Amino acid sequence: DIQMTQSPSSLSASVGDRVTITCRASQSINNYLNWYQQKPGKAPNLLIYAASSLQSGVPSRFSGSGSGTDFTLTISSLQPEDFATYYCQHCYGTPPGTFGQGTKVEVK
Amino acid sequence: EVQLVESGGGLIQPGGSLRLSCTASGFTVSANYMNWVRQAPGKGLEWVSIFYSGGATYYADSVRGRFTISRDSSKNTLYLHMNSLRAEDTAVYYCARESVAGPDGEYYYMDVWGKGTTVTVSS
Protein backbone atom coordinates (compact mmCIF):
# COMPACT_ATOMS: atom_id res chain seq x y z
CA ASP A 1 0.00 0.00 0.00
CA ILE A 2 1.10 3.54 -0.73
CA GLN A 3 1.72 5.60 2.40
CA MET A 4 1.26 9.36 2.48
CA THR A 5 3.30 11.43 4.93
CA GLN A 6 2.58 15.09 5.56
CA SER A 7 4.86 17.64 7.17
CA PRO A 8 4.67 19.41 9.41
CA SER A 9 1.92 17.87 11.55
CA SER A 10 1.05 21.36 12.73
CA LEU A 11 2.21 24.89 12.20
CA SER A 12 1.52 28.32 13.63
CA ALA A 13 1.06 31.24 11.28
CA SER A 14 -0.36 34.73 11.11
CA VAL A 15 -2.87 36.28 8.75
CA GLY A 16 -1.05 37.31 5.61
CA ASP A 17 1.68 34.68 5.92
CA ARG A 18 2.68 32.40 3.10
CA VAL A 19 2.10 28.81 4.24
CA THR A 20 3.53 25.66 2.69
CA ILE A 21 2.53 22.09 3.52
CA THR A 22 4.35 19.07 2.15
CA CYS A 23 3.04 15.61 1.30
CA ARG A 24 5.32 12.72 0.39
CA ALA A 25 4.20 9.42 -1.14
CA SER A 26 6.01 6.15 -0.41
CA GLN A 27 6.23 5.49 -4.17
CA SER A 28 5.64 7.50 -7.31
CA ILE A 29 2.03 8.48 -7.86
CA ASN A 30 2.63 10.76 -10.87
CA ASN A 31 0.28 13.66 -10.18
CA TYR A 32 -2.60 11.65 -8.73
CA LEU A 33 -2.85 13.76 -5.60
CA ASN A 34 -5.71 15.64 -3.97
CA TRP A 35 -5.79 18.20 -1.15
CA TYR A 36 -8.68 18.75 1.25
CA GLN A 37 -9.39 21.32 3.95
CA GLN A 38 -11.34 20.41 7.07
CA LYS A 39 -12.61 22.77 9.74
CA PRO A 40 -13.58 21.54 13.22
CA GLY A 41 -16.90 19.71 13.21
CA LYS A 42 -17.26 19.98 9.45
CA ALA A 43 -16.82 17.64 6.52
CA PRO A 44 -13.67 17.89 4.39
CA ASN A 45 -13.73 20.22 1.41
CA LEU A 46 -11.85 19.55 -1.82
CA LEU A 47 -9.28 22.22 -2.66
CA ILE A 48 -6.96 20.76 -5.29
CA TYR A 49 -7.06 17.68 -7.53
CA ALA A 50 -4.52 16.27 -9.97
CA ALA A 51 -1.83 17.88 -7.80
CA SER A 52 -2.34 21.39 -9.16
CA SER A 53 -5.89 21.83 -10.47
CA LEU A 54 -7.95 24.22 -8.38
CA GLN A 55 -11.46 23.00 -7.59
CA SER A 56 -14.22 25.33 -8.70
CA GLY A 57 -15.02 27.97 -6.10
CA VAL A 58 -11.74 27.63 -4.21
CA PRO A 59 -9.85 30.92 -3.76
CA SER A 60 -6.80 31.41 -5.96
CA ARG A 61 -4.54 31.91 -2.94
CA PHE A 62 -4.50 28.10 -2.73
CA SER A 63 -2.16 26.31 -5.10
CA GLY A 64 -0.67 22.86 -5.44
CA SER A 65 2.45 21.55 -7.08
CA GLY A 66 4.56 18.45 -7.40
CA SER A 67 4.78 15.14 -9.16
CA GLY A 68 6.16 11.72 -8.45
CA THR A 69 6.57 11.45 -4.69
CA ASP A 70 6.78 15.05 -3.42
CA PHE A 71 3.91 17.51 -3.37
CA THR A 72 3.20 20.92 -1.90
CA LEU A 73 0.10 22.87 -0.94
CA THR A 74 0.71 26.60 -0.70
CA ILE A 75 -1.50 29.32 0.72
CA SER A 76 -0.09 32.55 -0.65
CA SER A 77 -1.59 34.87 1.95
CA LEU A 78 -3.25 33.19 4.91
CA GLN A 79 -6.76 34.42 5.67
CA PRO A 80 -8.69 34.02 8.96
CA GLU A 81 -10.96 31.39 7.39
CA ASP A 82 -7.94 29.27 6.39
CA PHE A 83 -7.13 28.11 9.91
CA ALA A 84 -8.02 24.46 9.55
CA THR A 85 -6.54 20.99 9.04
CA TYR A 86 -5.31 20.02 5.59
CA TYR A 87 -5.10 16.49 4.19
CA CYS A 88 -3.49 15.08 1.09
CA GLN A 89 -4.84 11.92 -0.53
CA HIS A 90 -3.47 9.90 -3.41
CA CYS A 91 -5.78 8.65 -6.16
CA TYR A 92 -3.30 6.31 -7.83
CA GLY A 93 -5.10 3.17 -8.87
CA THR A 94 -8.19 1.53 -7.47
CA PRO A 95 -9.70 1.81 -4.87
CA PRO A 96 -9.43 5.34 -3.40
CA GLY A 97 -6.11 6.00 -1.81
CA THR A 98 -5.00 6.68 1.71
CA PHE A 99 -4.99 10.12 3.25
CA GLY A 100 -2.04 11.77 4.88
CA GLN A 101 -2.20 12.23 8.65
CA GLY A 102 -3.14 15.90 8.33
CA THR A 103 -1.51 19.26 8.97
CA LYS A 104 -3.19 21.61 11.40
CA VAL A 105 -2.72 25.31 10.67
CA GLU A 106 -3.10 27.31 13.86
CA VAL A 107 -3.07 30.95 14.83
CA LYS A 108 0.35 32.22 15.85
CA GLU B 1 -28.76 21.59 -4.99
CA VAL B 2 -26.26 18.75 -4.84
CA GLN B 3 -26.35 17.32 -1.34
CA LEU B 4 -25.67 14.21 0.74
CA VAL B 5 -27.36 13.50 4.06
CA GLU B 6 -26.20 10.68 6.32
CA SER B 7 -28.25 9.04 9.05
CA GLY B 8 -28.34 5.93 11.20
CA GLY B 9 -25.51 6.57 13.61
CA GLY B 10 -25.78 6.03 17.33
CA LEU B 11 -24.48 4.23 20.38
CA ILE B 12 -24.03 0.50 19.90
CA GLN B 13 -22.47 -2.22 22.02
CA PRO B 14 -19.36 -4.08 20.86
CA GLY B 15 -20.33 -6.95 18.59
CA GLY B 16 -23.51 -5.19 17.50
CA SER B 17 -24.73 -4.14 14.07
CA LEU B 18 -25.78 -0.85 12.56
CA ARG B 19 -26.88 0.38 9.14
CA LEU B 20 -25.89 3.83 7.95
CA SER B 21 -27.78 5.59 5.17
CA CYS B 22 -26.70 8.35 2.82
CA THR B 23 -29.42 9.96 0.72
CA ALA B 24 -28.45 12.09 -2.25
CA SER B 25 -30.25 14.99 -3.86
CA GLY B 26 -29.32 16.79 -7.06
CA PHE B 27 -27.59 13.78 -8.60
CA THR B 28 -28.02 10.03 -9.03
CA VAL B 29 -26.21 7.73 -6.61
CA SER B 30 -26.15 4.77 -9.00
CA ALA B 31 -24.50 6.81 -11.76
CA ASN B 32 -21.61 7.86 -9.55
CA TYR B 33 -18.78 6.42 -7.50
CA MET B 34 -19.81 6.64 -3.86
CA ASN B 35 -17.57 6.34 -0.82
CA TRP B 36 -17.73 6.01 2.93
CA VAL B 37 -14.93 7.75 4.83
CA ARG B 38 -14.61 7.81 8.62
CA GLN B 39 -12.82 9.88 11.20
CA ALA B 40 -12.16 8.63 14.72
CA PRO B 41 -12.27 11.25 17.49
CA GLY B 42 -9.25 13.52 17.21
CA LYS B 43 -7.81 11.49 14.33
CA GLY B 44 -7.41 11.82 10.58
CA LEU B 45 -9.50 10.64 7.68
CA GLU B 46 -9.74 6.95 6.84
CA TRP B 47 -11.29 5.66 3.62
CA VAL B 48 -13.70 2.78 4.38
CA SER B 49 -15.49 1.58 1.24
CA ILE B 50 -16.51 2.46 -2.31
CA PHE B 51 -19.39 1.46 -4.58
CA TYR B 52 -18.53 2.04 -8.24
CA SER B 53 -21.26 2.93 -10.69
CA GLY B 54 -20.63 -0.33 -12.54
CA GLY B 55 -21.30 -2.32 -9.37
CA ALA B 56 -17.81 -3.14 -8.10
CA THR B 57 -17.17 -2.63 -4.38
CA TYR B 58 -14.00 -2.36 -2.33
CA TYR B 59 -13.24 -2.21 1.38
CA ALA B 60 -10.42 -1.11 3.64
CA ASP B 61 -8.60 -4.00 5.28
CA SER B 62 -9.83 -2.81 8.69
CA VAL B 63 -13.51 -3.43 7.81
CA ARG B 64 -13.42 -6.12 5.13
CA GLY B 65 -15.64 -9.05 6.08
CA ARG B 66 -17.56 -7.00 8.66
CA PHE B 67 -18.95 -4.07 6.63
CA THR B 68 -21.03 -4.22 3.44
CA ILE B 69 -21.75 -1.30 1.13
CA SER B 70 -24.95 -1.27 -0.89
CA ARG B 71 -27.26 1.11 -2.72
CA ASP B 72 -30.96 1.45 -3.50
CA SER B 73 -31.56 3.24 -6.77
CA SER B 74 -35.28 3.72 -6.08
CA LYS B 75 -34.39 5.69 -2.96
CA ASN B 76 -31.23 7.28 -4.38
CA THR B 77 -29.50 6.10 -1.21
CA LEU B 78 -26.18 4.52 -0.29
CA TYR B 79 -25.87 2.25 2.73
CA LEU B 80 -23.16 0.90 4.97
CA HIS B 81 -24.09 -2.25 6.86
CA MET B 82 -21.76 -2.66 9.82
CA ASN B 83 -21.51 -5.94 11.73
CA SER B 84 -19.28 -7.18 14.57
CA LEU B 85 -18.61 -3.62 15.61
CA ARG B 86 -15.53 -2.84 17.67
CA ALA B 87 -14.52 0.08 19.84
CA GLU B 88 -12.08 1.13 17.13
CA ASP B 89 -14.99 1.61 14.71
CA THR B 90 -16.09 4.62 16.76
CA ALA B 91 -16.00 7.56 14.38
CA VAL B 92 -17.89 10.10 12.36
CA TYR B 93 -18.86 8.41 9.12
CA TYR B 94 -19.07 10.54 5.99
CA CYS B 95 -20.38 9.57 2.60
CA ALA B 96 -18.74 11.27 -0.34
CA ARG B 97 -19.26 11.35 -4.08
CA GLU B 98 -16.19 10.65 -6.13
CA SER B 99 -15.94 12.53 -9.41
CA VAL B 100 -13.66 11.98 -12.36
CA ALA B 101 -11.59 14.40 -14.41
CA GLY B 102 -8.88 14.40 -17.07
CA PRO B 103 -8.85 13.51 -20.77
CA ASP B 104 -8.93 9.81 -19.95
CA GLY B 105 -10.94 10.08 -16.75
CA GLU B 106 -7.81 9.26 -14.80
CA TYR B 107 -8.19 11.67 -11.90
CA TYR B 108 -10.54 10.88 -9.02
CA TYR B 109 -11.50 13.14 -6.17
CA MET B 110 -14.24 13.42 -3.54
CA ASP B 111 -16.08 16.61 -4.37
CA VAL B 112 -19.38 16.27 -2.49
CA TRP B 113 -19.50 15.26 1.18
CA GLY B 114 -22.28 14.82 3.68
CA LYS B 115 -22.13 16.32 7.17
CA GLY B 116 -21.49 12.91 8.71
CA THR B 117 -23.17 10.63 11.24
CA THR B 118 -21.57 9.58 14.51
CA VAL B 119 -21.11 5.94 15.49
CA THR B 120 -20.05 5.16 19.05
CA VAL B 121 -19.21 1.57 19.93
CA SER B 122 -19.14 1.16 23.69
CA SER B 123 -20.59 -0.98 26.44
- The model's pLDDT over B47-67, given as tens digits with 9 standing for 90+, comes to 999 999 999 999 999 999 999
Contacts of B54 in chain A (CB under 8 A): none
User: Which of A46, A53, A100 has the CB atom closest to B110's CB atom?
Assistant: A46
Report CB contact under 8 Å: B94, A45. no
Report CB contact under 8 Å: B115, A43. yes
* CB-based contact, A44 to chain B, within 8 Å: yes
Q: What percent of chain A has pLDDT over 90?
A: 94
* Chain A / chain B CB contacts < 8 angstroms: 63
* CB-based contact, A83 to chain B, within 8 Å: no
Contacts of A50 in chain B (CB under 8 A): 101-102, 107, 109
Mean pLDDT by 10 residues, chain B (123 residues): 98 98 98 97 97 96 97 98 98 97 91 98 97
CA distances from A16 to A38, A73, B2 (A): 20, 16, 33
A49-77: string of b/e by CB count within 10 Å (b at 16+)?
bbbbbbbeebeeebbbebeebebbbebee
Report CB contact under 8 Å: B35, A96. yes
Q: What is the pLDDT of residue B75?
A: 98
Nearest CA in chain A to B98: A96
Q: Contact, A35 vs A88, CB < 8 A?
A: yes
Q: What is the pLDDT of residue B117?
A: 98
Report CB contact under 8 Å: A50, B107. yes
pLDDT digits (tens, 9 = 90+) for A39-79: 999 999 999 999 999 999 999 999 999 999 999 999 999 99
Q: What is the pLDDT of residue B105?
A: 85
* CB-based contact, B67 to chain A, within 8 Å: no
Q: What is the pLDDT of residue B98?
A: 96
Tell me how crowded residue B30 is: count the other CB atoms within 10 A of its CB: 17
Residue A24, burial from CB neighbour count under 10 angstroms (0-12, 13-18, 19+): middle
CA distances from A96 to A3, A74, B49 (A): 13, 24, 9
Mean pLDDT of chain A: 96
* CB-based contact, B40 to chain A, within 8 Å: no
* CB-based contact, A68 to chain B, within 8 Å: no
Amino acid at A15: V
CA atoms of B123 and B118, how far apart (whole Å):
16
Contacts of B64 in chain A (CB under 8 A): none
* CB-based contact, A58 to chain B, within 8 Å: no
